[in-house]
Homo-oligomer: A and B are copies of this chain.
Amino acid sequence: MSVTIYDVAREAGVSMATVSRVVNGNPNVKPATRKKVLEVIERLGYRPNAVARGLASKKTTTVGVIIPDIASAFYAELARGIEDIANMYKYNIILCNSDKQPKKELTLIETLLEKQVDGLLFMGPRVTDEHLDLFRSASVPVVLATTIDPGCQLPSVNIDQRQAAYDATRLLLNHGHTRIAFLGGPLEEFAGLSRFQGYRQALEDAGVPFREELVQIADYRYETALKRMAHFLTLPERPTAVFATSDEMAVAAIHAYQDAGFRVPEDVEVIGFDNIRLASMVRPTLTTVAQPMYDIGAVSMRLLTKYMHNEKVTDSLVFLPHTIEIRGSTRAESKTAVATR
């Protein structure tokens, strides 16, 4: 079969311990010996077996990452941040797609734990008690990204969703709108609810009455949002502005209005959420709440490495700043760029 550390040892006339030392960069090896071993390794094409290594050392240098949807631009960008930092710290990543299905999430966590990952980075719409139990049953650190557990016990990296939604709504209010539609995500989900709350709060603070008929819930996707928009367009009092909690939905909002003969931003203003690349790839370009996606990924992975290396962590609950990226789907008057925390 393939060449093992033992073969190298024999061939180099040393013990396997010595080979192990040179492979692992242990300095306690005489340069001459190291050279000889290295040469044999090269000649034999020896490739250390990470599985055996993992069993013996109880470390796999692998972390599990659970992502709701890898085909979503938002999470893909997050994944890049995660990956870059993981590589920087010499960790490999097992990336798993959960499709936001709680059952699949749980299975995935279980599987990753069986694989003895050194840490877990979890993204999901909700963190339930079942999740918490599983996490606790593991002896590895867990970090949440773009989500948070009800008790805030687990370390997590987020933006202030509520405030971000508040700021977006505020921008529209500042432009004089009173019929601002909210095209949001499921209220059972952490982000969905927080953003809805931010929207309501902004209305309330501005003394603008909240209206049930100005709220539609979709799944963050273009196609679904397009359908929901039909509702707004049939309203006797059509909304004059739309706050969509994803960029795809915002683009759908724009198209729905355009198809009905309205101009954006002249007749209707639209603001999105996330600031994925799509926001710059449509006309008009999209004004949107910019989440530092890459950074959220990077920071959460960095946080995880700290836990894995038993470093001291001062802030286990991280909130990254958001901004509002003003583009073409809102009118130019205001140049408000709001940043929080």
Binding site for B on A (CB under 8 A): 1-2, 45, 47-52, 54-55, 60, 62, 70-73, 76-77, 79-80, 83, 92-97, 110-111, 113-116, 137, 139, 222, 248, 251-252, 255, 258, 277-278, 280-283
Q: Is B278's CB under 8 angstroms from A255's CB?
A: no
Cα(A278)–Cα(B2), bound, Å: 47
Cα(A110)–Cα(B46), bound, Å: 11
On chain B, the residues within 8 Å of A73 by CB distance are 71, 73
On chain B, the residues within 8 Å of A248 by CB distance are 281
Closest CB-CB distance, A203 to chain B, in whole Å? Answer: 29
Q: Is B70's CB under 8 angstroms from A76's CB?
A: yes
Cα(A94)–Cα(B65), bound, Å: 10
Residue of B nearest to A251 (CB): B281
Known: A93-B95, A282-B281. A47 touches B222 (CB 8 A): no
On chain B, the residues within 8 Å of A54 by CB distance are 51
Cα(A92)–Cα(B110), bound, Å: 12
Interface centre among A76, A93, A110 (most CB of B within 10 A): A76
Q: Is B83's CB under 8 angstroms from A77's CB?
A: no
Q: Is A92's CB under 8 angstroms from B92's CB?
A: no
Q: Is B45's CB under 8 angstroms from A137's CB?
A: yes
Q: Is A47's CB under 8 angstroms from B114's CB?
A: yes
Q: Could you list 13 examples of A-B contacts with CB < 8 Å?
A: A1-B139, A49-B116, A62-B94, A70-B83, A71-B76, A72-B76, A93-B94, A94-B94, A95-B95, A222-B280, A222-B281, A251-B281, A283-B283
On chain B, the residues within 8 Å of A1 by CB distance are 139
Q: Is A48's CB under 8 angstroms from B94's CB?
A: no
Cα(A281)–Cα(B248), bound, Å: 8
Q: Is B80's CB under 8 angstroms from A70's CB?
A: yes
Cα(A282)–Cα(B280), bound, Å: 11
Closest CB-CB distance, A273 to chain B, in whole Å? Answer: 16
Q: Is B80's CB under 8 angstroms from A71's CB?
A: yes
Q: Is A51's CB under 8 angstroms from B116's CB?
A: yes
Cα(A72)–Cα(B70), bound, Å: 10
Of the candidates B51, B97, B137, B283, which one forms a contact with A80 in the assembled complex, judged by CB atoms under 8 Å apart? B97
Residue of B nearest to A54 (CB): B51
On chain B, the residues within 8 Å of A96 by CB distance are 92-93
Closest CB-CB distance, A199 to chain B, in whole Å? Answer: 24
Q: Is B282's CB under 8 angstroms from A47's CB?
A: no
Closest CB-CB distance, A269 to chain B, in whole Å? Answer: 18
Residue of B nearest to A255 (CB): B283
Cα(A255)–Cα(B115), bound, Å: 48
Cα(A70)–Cα(B78), bound, Å: 10
Of the candidates B48, B113, B139, B281, which one forms a contact with A278 in the assembled complex, judged by CB atoms under 8 Å apart? B281
On chain B, the residues within 8 Å of A282 by CB distance are 281-282
Q: Is A51's CB under 8 angstroms from B47's CB?
A: no
With A70-B83, A252-B281, A282-B282 already in contact, 13 other A-B pairs whose C-beta atoms are closer than 8 Å: A47-B114, A49-B116, A62-B115, A71-B76, A71-B80, A80-B97, A83-B97, A92-B111, A93-B95, A95-B95, A251-B281, A255-B283, A283-B283
